[in-house]
Structure 1
Amino acid sequence: MTVADKDTLPRPHAAVWHVMIVLAALMAFAGLSTDIYLPAMPEIADSFGVDHGAMEFTVTSFLIGLSLGQLVWGPISDKFGRMWPVVIGLGLFIIGTIGCALSSSVPEMVVWRVLQATGASASVVLSRAMIRDLYPGARGAQMMSLLIAVMTISPLIAPSIGAQVAGAFGWRAVFWVLGGIGIMALLGMLSLGETLAKPERNDSALGASFRAYAVLLCNRHVMAHALVVGLFYVGMFAYIAGTPAIFIGFYGLSPEAYGLVFGSGVVGIFILNLINGRIVARTGTTLLLRIGATATLAFGALIAVTAVSGIGGVLGFYLPLMGFVAMSGLIMPSALSGAMLGAGRNAGAIAALCGAIQYGGGIFGSALAGFFADGTPAPLGFILLAAGALTFAASLMLRTQRC
């Protein structure tokens, strides 16, 4: 970690556990903001007097705001530091969350969800850049793996929290709780302080910083890593959007059993993140990415075969599907930390570009799952096969580079 003047580093040289708690909370905002209110969506739809499917617009609008917002915060943080953009973003998130709690229609909630996502995107993207600020090289890859492993806990607990809160106090209380979490994250960020030393900030004009995206789009090293993430997330969000109807509607699982299915995928991600963190310093990010991408293609092919043939029934479909999902534990931390290698003063912009492409792929994947859905596993199987093949192809663009 670069030693600089006292106002440019965490105060007072924050312990690793302190940094971990704050950054894990910031990284978890995207999943938490989506998952915590999912159990309350039918109640919200009934409250607004709309079809339950109309609530999907509140999810899509959040993903769009999350994707585009990152592109704004990245260059701003490279020039002015990480702390105040995150603080301002959390302020927008809290305002948007309060707006959601007070909404009386779907269009109104969509507007507030965009503001909420724009604010949350600062936390999501800049937490990644902050890891690079504090822990460069192999140590950064290890910390990225550990943080993502911790972050994966939020999808396990968020729906349960949302269900309990909505059941006891109504759906609006879910957003009040989420706003409270935003306030705690804001206090945590203020306690951590700045992570980007002043000498390491981008001293060019802000317009030039945004124009740096054009340069990054032509940077093979950055784009290869970003494409691996984005193409993999086509499959991940197709899985998230498509599997409830398949496991509950086609295979006849109960909603509670589907919750266990979803949770088991998160466990796989958690385990592989921990493994990644332990071995990445010895193997480098490129090898782990190629292993993950190759396995993704193999699991995608198995999913397609079992989805079409019905071999093994629900178990035959479930096992390779969980293998596909678990590869996030190898691909995500390795791709994000690998893209940061040699980032110089553009770490925020690189993190933002990777994040925008990641959630852009997610928007596309969820749309594909909805468009081709026919009540059977076959369309999802082919989407995951295609996502696996494209992820593997993108991994071939990677040049071997150790941390």
Structure 2
Amino acid sequence: MSSAKTSVSLLAILGALMAMTSIATDIYLPAMPVMEEKLGGDAELAITGFLLGFAIAQLLWGPISDRVGRKIPLFIGMVLFIIGSIGCALSTHMMEVVLWRIFQAVGACVGPMLSRAMIRDMYGATKAAQTMSTLMMIMAVAPIAGPFVGGGLLAVGTWQLIFWAMAIVGVMLFAALFFLPETLPKETRAPQSFLHTFGNYGNLLKNGRYMRYTLCVTAFYVAVYAFVSGSPAVYITHFGVPEQYFGLFFGINILGVTMVSALNRRLLRTYTLDVLIRRSLAVAATAAIVLAALSFTGIGGLWGVVAPMFFIFSTNGIIAACTNAAALSSVPTRMTGAAAALLGSLQYGSGVVSSALLALLSDGTPRAMSGIIVVVIVLSALSTIGAPHKPHKQSVEA
């Protein structure tokens, strides 16, 4: 990994693996209305099912990766993702799609989770945050392109074509894994049995610093997934945005994340992780309050949602990278896989909470989505009040 070429290749593969969530969700968003029409049922359940499987399965893969290394779980996970994608494409009822999406998620979750663990294997807290910011710029291509690709596939074919495309992407990523190095050598793997390795979750729950950052990003991601799940209905159904242009409005937010991620690499040279987390959450909370005010009063129409969401979503370029790096640097190396798994499980499991709240509160307007976003972002901002970050002694950079 010494050459620049190899480093770029490593970042490209890790970025693609971190984008697995976007690959499996954003490309599917434009198809939700037509799938409900063709298959019956609620297409949002497919997102809920995916996020549920994504969240729970990580808790299995994390300790396994601490025991056997990172690459074996990655290969197995990619095979499961491919099979799940094919199953979705062949489904004839919405419930079949939901079940296959859960299966798909069991494999898809390995990519983002172990990408974070592999970065932690290689770097300390600040360098890890900078690397994650770089990866967020790379992976931003997926959510920008996803809705465009999904809308384009719908224009030339049926909704099934979207899931066939996911399967093809899975095959390509499976091949790329052969070029990925093993970042957890045998001598640094968890020496305990599998049973004891799973017991590390108890130690993580008692780790105050780790849980502080984990709960902070979890609350923020409830807001992120409230937007991801609710935006198709708000933009396409409520405001009448054509399906093929939905990706444009969604992509504006990802552009903001990309720019802020690039900025974050520079800011980390001057500011600590905690300062950046607190200030970015202050910006997000302010924008969320504006969003809620405009949504509940009806002022601004479509742009009354688009503009504040741009600022909220953009702060993810700092919040995700810094909270992940701070959390994982608070635990010893032998627990990194489990720590990344619990972090990812709660972070992406927040999408289940978002989908459930939207299903319960939605009234066909942006109000439910905006209300959820403002409440959880304010809670996330409040959670940053506390002691400054102190990395675990094994995680401090030389």
Query: 1:269 touches 1:326 (CA, 8 Å); kept in 2?
Result: yes
Q: How many residues align?
A: 391
Query: Deviation per CA, 1:131-183, whole angstroms, max 9, x where unpaired?
Result: 11123332211110110121122011122223333443433333222112111
Query: 1:225 touches 1:398 (CA, 8 Å); kept in 2?
Result: no
Using the size of structure 1 for normalisation, the TM-score is 0.90
Displacement of 1:44? 4.2
Counterpart amino acid of 1:394?
S
Determine the structure 2 residue equivalent to 1:15. Answer: 6
Counterpart amino acid of 1:391?
S
Change (3 A) 1:36 1:255: closer
Change (3 A) 1:279 1:315: same
Query: 1:11 touches 1:191 (CA, 8 Å); kept in 2?
Result: no
Determine the structure 2 residue equivalent to 1:84. Answer: 72
Change (3 A) 1:292 1:58: same
Using the TM superposition, name which of 307-316 and 349-358 deviates more. 307-316
**SS class of match (1:98):** helix
**SS class of match (1:357):** helix
Query: Deviation per CA, 1:329-359, whole angstroms, max 9, x where unpaired?
Result: 1110001111111432111111111111111
Displacement of 1:201? 1.0
Query: 1:165 touches 1:174 (CA, 8 Å); kept in 2?
Result: yes
Change (3 A) 1:108 1:264: same
Determine the structure 1 residue equivalent to 2:294. Answer: 306
Query: 2:44 touches 2:229 (CA, 8 Å); kept in 1?
Result: no
What 5-or-longer segments of structure 1 have no aligned partner? 1-9
Written as runs of structure 1 = structure 2, the 5 A alignment for 1:319-398 is 319-344=307-332, 345-397=334-386
**SS class of match (2:199):** helix
Q: Percent identity, aligned pairs only?
A: 35
Query: 1:286 touches 1:398 (CA, 8 Å); kept in 2?
Result: no
What 5-or-longer segments of structure 2 have no aligned partner? none
Determine the structure 1 residue equivalent to 2:21. Answer: 30
Written as runs of structure 1 = structure 2, the 5 A alignment for 1:228-247 is 228-247=216-235
Query: Within 2, Cα distance between the matches of 1:43 and 1:363?
Result: 22
Displacement of 1:249? 4.3
Change (3 A) 1:113 1:382: closer
Query: Within 1, Cα distance between the matches of 2:106 and 2:186?
Result: 26
Counterpart amino acid of 1:17?
V
Query: 2:212 touches 2:384 (CA, 8 Å); kept in 1?
Result: yes
Using the TM superposition, name which of 250-259 and 357-366 deviates more. 250-259
Query: Within 2, Cα distance between the matches of 1:40 and 1:193?
Result: 37
The ranges of structure 1 where at least 4 consecutive aligned residues each deviate by more than 6 angstroms after the TM superposition are: 10-14
Counterpart amino acid of 1:341?
S
Q: Is residue 71 from structure 1 mapped to residue 59 from structure 2 by the alignment?
A: yes
Displacement of 1:43? 4.6
Written as runs of structure 1 = structure 2, the 5 A alignment for 1:3-402 is 15-47=6-38, 50-51=39-40, 53-344=41-332, 345-397=334-386, 399-401=388-390
Displacement of 1:95? 1.7
Displacement of 1:20? 0.8
Using the TM superposition, name which of 365-374 and 117-126 deviates more. 365-374
Counterpart amino acid of 1:196?
L
Query: Within 1, Cα distance between the matches of 2:109 and 2:139?
Result: 15
Displacement of 1:253? 4.0
Query: 2:16 touches 2:138 (CA, 8 Å); kept in 1?
Result: no
Query: 2:31 touches 2:154 (CA, 8 Å); kept in 1?
Result: yes
Query: 2:47 touches 2:229 (CA, 8 Å); kept in 1?
Result: no
Change (3 A) 1:374 1:123: same
Counterpart amino acid of 2:171?
I
Query: Within 1, Cα distance between the matches of 2:267 and 2:315?
Result: 15
Using the TM superposition, name which of 250-259 and 225-234 deviates more. 250-259
Displacement of 1:258? 4.0
Counterpart amino acid of 1:371?
L
Counterpart amino acid of 2:27?
I
Query: Within 1, Cα distance between the matches of 2:142 and 2:355?
Result: 20
Determine the structure 2 residue equivalent to 1:5. Answer: none
Displacement of 1:11? 10
Change (3 A) 1:315 1:94: closer
Query: Within 2, Cα distance between the matches of 1:18 and 1:242?
Result: 35
Change (3 A) 1:217 1:96: same
Query: 1:240 touches 1:366 (CA, 8 Å); kept in 2?
Result: no
Query: 1:81 touches 1:201 (CA, 8 Å); kept in 2?
Result: yes
Query: Within 2, Cα distance between the matches of 1:389 and 1:43?
Result: 35
**SS class of match (2:91):** coil
